Chains A and B, each alone.
Chain A
Amino acid sequence: MKKVLELKNVSKKYQAKNGEIEALKDISFFVNEGEFVSIIGPSGCGKSTLLSIIAGLEPKTEGEIKLEEKIGYMLQRDSLLEWRSIYNNVMFGLEIGHKKTKESEEYAIELLKKYGLYEFKDKYPNQLSGGMRQRVALIRTLAIKPKILLLDEAFSALDYQTRIMVTNDIFKILKNENITALIVTHDISEAISMSDRVIVLTKRPATIKNVHTINFEMENRTPLNCRESPKFSKYFDTIWKELDVHA
């Protein structure tokens, strides 16, 4: 299988007035094409920093990152621009990259139609539900045709029921569009239900504690139906213990 992303000994130190903070230490892993990989760890351990570094939003201190394909990025909040219609929000990424051509516009319209948002294209974000807004944000990212998607706690701003449905929704969309995903989350069940592998990080400075391969051995696995598998709670327990959460 083709590796589309590979990290070798990546470290990150922050310089602050009151000293140096070591956020990431010696992180190495890879992601294969079409794979869904989750990164999970205690809050504040530097998971989001890792994604920012991969996306090139922040410089790394040491190490090497090999990135084969174009990436897209999804944040915790949908960050839709309230003054733009849904259609113009979807166009945002294309506009920024000066890629707004007839072709790319047609592709975005096709995505809107495919995922049930076309009839809302002239509405404004505040007229849409949280789940729909997140879907618009996803289409905005997909419109630039990324091959790898980085999801940074992308569902944590949604309420529980919506989150489960949106996770399911987005999982299907990504599989459908044949996109590789790297997911950062603090939600163990979300990590297990969505991914092929779960990387567990330690607390700061974050190092890789363990990598779990998740395999439910079922056809047409979705985040919703794999929650019913007996293996689900087994995975959950193992990872829970590893995370070593203290209240």
Chain B
Amino acid sequence: MREKNISDDRKKYLRKIRTNKMLVIAVQISILILFIIAWEVLANKGIIDSFIMSKPSRILDTFLNLSSNGLLKHLGVTLTETLIGFVTGVVLGVFIAILLWWSKFLAKVSEPFLVILNSLPKVALGPVIIVWVGAGMGAIITMGIAISLIVTILEILNGFLNTDKELIKMAKTFNASKFQILTKVVIPANISTFFNSLKVNIGLSLVGVITGEFLVSKAGLRLPYSLWRPSI
């Protein structure tokens, strides 16, 4: 919103908001820097074992070395896998959530299955996924999706079902169809749920992809650091 005549008080208020925002960022950066310095110093003094925990300067060295050995390629592979897993997981999750919101019957039928699938350790499915999809990028992406999908469905569906009933009733007083209620009330009312779920999901997809890479990778971030190869 743009306002034409800004009073001094308003200016002060706006400045305060801006200062506050910068302060948050400054503190965040300071914490990060302090952490790295503390790590380096403690490792140098031998208080933490740099053989197991490594230290920032050594990581930087390795990073620079590996860059010439194709770290960027591996980084790219993992990033691609994560993004594909993430996007597919979200799109599929939202789609299924919409389906379950649409049909109460379907939602009731699928509820126990969703709960069980959600509590299932997906990592344990790894070998099965490899058999199904083949040992390659496909399996890794499937792993990424498997980990994030159910959480997305549950979270988005929960948001949909908790949409303010009064808003839905209001739309109905204008004879809104179910599709209109979905697109004009339920989805816009759940934008924040959607973004929250995105935040959680990008992390989960990465976990899924790294786990997948542990099992099958020929390329990706996990590979250069492996002392261990899957024996499948």
From A57, A92, A93, B169 is in contact (CB under 8 Å) with: A57
CB-CB < 8 A to A72: which residues of B?
173
CB-CB < 8 A to B174: which residues of A?
92-93, 96-97, 144
CB-CB < 8 A to B185: which residues of A?
81
Check: B175 CB closer than 8 A to any chain A CB. yes
1/0 contact trace for A72-94 toward B, CB 8 Å?
A: 11011101010100000000110
CB-based contact B167/A79 at 8 Å: yes
For the residues of B in contact with A, the DSSP-based class is: helix
CB-based contact A79/B166 at 8 Å: yes
Distance in angstroms between the alpha carbons of A55 and B166 in the assembled complex = 15
CB-CB < 8 A to A75: which residues of B?
166, 169-170, 173
From A79, A83, A95, A97, B170 is in contact (CB under 8 Å) with: A79
CB-based contact A57/B172 at 8 Å: yes
Distance in angstroms between the alpha carbons of A246 and B188 in the assembled complex = 44
Distance in angstroms between the alpha carbons of A73 and B175 in the assembled complex = 11
CB-CB < 8 A to A77: which residues of B?
166
CB-CB < 8 A to A96: which residues of B?
171, 174-176, 180, 184
Check: B191 CB closer than 8 A to any chain A CB. yes
CB-CB < 8 A to A144: which residues of B?
174
Rounded to whole Å, the gap between the CB of B174 and the closest CB of chain A is: 4
Rounded to whole Å, the gap between the CB of A182 and the closest CB of chain B is: 14
Task: State which residues 176-207 of B face A: CB under 8 Å.
Answer: 176, 180, 184-185, 188-189, 191
Rounded to whole Å, the gap between the CB of A35 and the closest CB of chain B is: 21
Distance in angstroms between the alpha carbons of A92 and B167 in the assembled complex = 12
Distance in angstroms between the alpha carbons of A180 and B50 in the assembled complex = 82
Q: Nearest A residue to B167 by beta-carbon distance?
A: A79
Distance in angstroms between the alpha carbons of A141 and B174 in the assembled complex = 8
Q: Nearest A residue to B191 by beta-carbon distance?
A: A83
Q: Nearest B residue to A93 by beta-carbon distance?
A: B174
CB-based contact A81/B175 at 8 Å: no
Distance in angstroms between the alpha carbons of A95 and B188 in the assembled complex = 15
Interface size of B in residues (CB-CB distance below 8 Å) = 17
Interface size of A in residues (CB-CB distance below 8 Å) = 17
Q: Nearest B residue to A55 by beta-carbon distance?
A: B173
CB-based contact A92/B184 at 8 Å: yes
Rounded to whole Å, the gap between the CB of A76 and the closest CB of chain B is: 8
Q: Nearest A residue to B169 by beta-carbon distance?
A: A75
Rounded to whole Å, the gap between the CB of A200 and the closest CB of chain B is: 25
CB-CB < 8 A to B188: which residues of A?
81, 83
Rounded to whole Å, the gap between the CB of B186 and the closest CB of chain A is: 11
Task: From known contacts A95-B184, A96-B180, infer whether A81 and B167 are also in contact, taking CB-CB under 8 Å.
Answer: yes
Task: State which residues 103-154 of A face B: CB under 8 Å.
Answer: 141, 144
From A57, A76, A81, A83, B173 is in contact (CB under 8 Å) with: A57
Rounded to whole Å, the gap between the CB of B71 and the closest CB of chain A is: 43
Distance in angstroms between the alpha carbons of A79 and B189 in the assembled complex = 12
From B164, B169, B175, A97 is in contact (CB under 8 Å) with: B175
Rounded to whole Å, the gap between the CB of B104 and the closest CB of chain A is: 16
Rounded to whole Å, the gap between the CB of A58 and the closest CB of chain B is: 10
CB-CB < 8 A to A73: which residues of B?
173
Distance in angstroms between the alpha carbons of A196 and B61 in the assembled complex = 87
CB-CB < 8 A to B167: which residues of A?
79, 81
Q: Nearest B residue to A72 by beta-carbon distance?
A: B173
CB-CB < 8 A to B164: which residues of A?
79
CB-CB < 8 A to A141: which residues of B?
173
Distance in angstroms between the alpha carbons of A34 and B75 in the assembled complex = 73
Q: Which 9 A-B pairs have the closest CB atoms?
A: A73-B173, A79-B170, A96-B174, A93-B174, A96-B176, A79-B166, A83-B188, A77-B166, A79-B167
Q: Which residues of B contact A (CB under 8 A)?
A: 164, 166-167, 169-176, 180, 184-185, 188-189, 191
17 pairs of residues in contact across A and B, judged by CB atoms under 8 Å? A55-B173, A72-B173, A75-B169, A75-B170, A79-B164, A79-B166, A79-B170, A81-B167, A81-B188, A81-B189, A83-B189, A92-B171, A92-B184, A93-B174, A96-B176, A96-B180, A141-B173
